[in-house]
Amino acid sequence: MEYVVETNRLSKRYGRDYAVNQLMMKVPKGSVYGFLGPNGSGKSSTIRMLLGLVKPTEGTVRIFQEDLKQSRKSILSRVGSLVENPSYYPHLTAHENLEVWRKLVNVPKKRIHEVLELVQLSNVAGKAVKGFSLGMKQRLGIAAALLNEPELLILDEPTNGLDPSGIIEMRNLIKQLASENGMTILVSSHLLAEMDQMATTVGIVRKGQMIFQDSIQALRKLAQNQVSLAVSESKMARHVLLSAGIQADWKEDRLYLADRSDAAVAQAVHTLVMKGHSVYRVEEEKRALETIFLDLIAAGEEAV
């Protein structure tokens, strides 16, 4: 697999505290990479290092298979970004603001019309930005980031502060840019539900450390339904199942079966009853992705 972004033991320390600690990130080409973690987990510090805005304490960043430290200018010419709230000239129109940025990146004037079309702001191109909603301003910021036709787009919490309709607009725009323009997009967020609807790959960080990195499908598998059994002498009952070749976990006096098929559940119940255990209840429990996210974060806490 080809990776557009790779970090190797990337770290950033402020005094004695690590904002980012030995981070190993891999962003597949053409993916929407959801960079997830609680507020203060090191997402923004990582993004600033990826963009060359902050110097790492240690470790390396490779973008487009090149070392950022050695080829910073050529790499960043192929990257677009929206970090925090973009700055505007409120009295200027959307088109005029983009003209200012266009001169900085030195692209043809026709590119302004193209990016306004991409972010669906063509109909307000002549209106002053001071009258824009927050969602419109965010889309204008993305339009500016797209002026240089980037191969990699980095967005830091692009849905922050948006109302539900603005969040949906932003989500649809990100998915469109990835699917129709073949762009690799790295999106940071603390909202797993949002990433579930747009990301193809997920990296979860806690206190600057990567604690999960895989496809969104792999994360969803962790959220598959579980079958739990309430039984008498549950700890001993688990050993009975294991002795019979039936995989089961024990947690809080309940048994959780690895195989959730009807046949496997029936076999487990039959085995327990034949060994003298009472089966009080058989339940199917659905684990939400948010629960998985919180469990992973909690596991990271315990590992420290």
pLDDT tens per residue across span 264-302: 999 999 999 999 999 999 998 766 677 777 777 776 554
Q: Give the domain 3-221 fold.
A: Rossmann fold (3.40.50)
Angle 83-84-90 (CA atoms, 0-180°, nearest 5)?
Answer: 105
Q: Are 257 and 265 in contact (CB under 8 A)?
A: yes
* Buried b / exposed e along 211-231 (16+ C-beta atoms within 10 A): bbbeebeebeeebeebbbbeb
Reduce the DSSP state of residue 197 to 3 states and report it: coil
Q: Which pLDDT score, from 0 to 100, does residue 27 have?
A: 98
Reduce the DSSP state of residue 225 to 3 states and report it: coil
Q: Which pLDDT score, from 0 to 100, does residue 288 have?
A: 64
The closest alpha carbon to 119, from 96, 131, 137, belongs to 137
Strand ranges inside the chain, DSSP E? 3-14, 17-23, 26-28, 32-36, 58-63, 66-67, 79-83, 152-156, 184-189, 201-206, 209-215, 226-231, 248-251, 254-257, 279-285
The closest alpha carbon to 255, from 273, 240, 271, 234, belongs to 234
- Interacting residues of 245 by C-beta distance below 8 A, sequence separation 6+: none
Q: What is the DSSP letter of 161?
A: T
The closest alpha carbon to 184, from 102, 67, 60, 64, belongs to 64
Q: Are 125 and 95 in contact (CB under 8 A)?
A: yes
Q: Rounded to an integer, what is the distance from CA 48 to the centroid of its chain?
A: 16
Q: Alpha helices, DSSP H only, in 147-222?
A: 164-181, 192-196, 216-222
pLDDT tens for the chain, 304 residues long, are: 899 999 999 999 999 999 999 999 999 999 999 999 988 899 999 999 999 999 999 999 999 999 999 999 999 999 999 987 778 899 999 999 999 999 999 999 999 999 999 999 999 999 999 999 989 999 999 999 999 999 999 999 998 888 888 889 889 999 999 988 889 999 999 888 888 889 999 999 988 999 999 999 988 877 767 799 999 999 999 999 999 999 999 988 899 998 888 999 999 999 999 999 999 999 987 666 777 777 777 765 544 4
Domain 225-286 of CATH type 3.30.70: yes
Cα gap 42→190, rounded to integer Å: 11
Q: Are 59 and 10 in contact (CB under 8 A)?
A: yes
pLDDT tens per residue across span 202-248: 999 988 999 999 999 988 877 767 799 999 999 999 999 999 999 99
The closest alpha carbon to 211, from 219, 199, 221, belongs to 219
Cα gap 269→229, rounded to integer Å: 9
| Residue bearing tokens 């193809």 | 200
Cα gap 112→143, rounded to integer Å: 8
Rg (C-alpha) for the chain, rounded Å, is 24
Q: Rounded to an integer, what is the distance from CA 126 to the centroid of its chain?
A: 34
- What residue spans define the domains of the chain? 3-221, 225-286
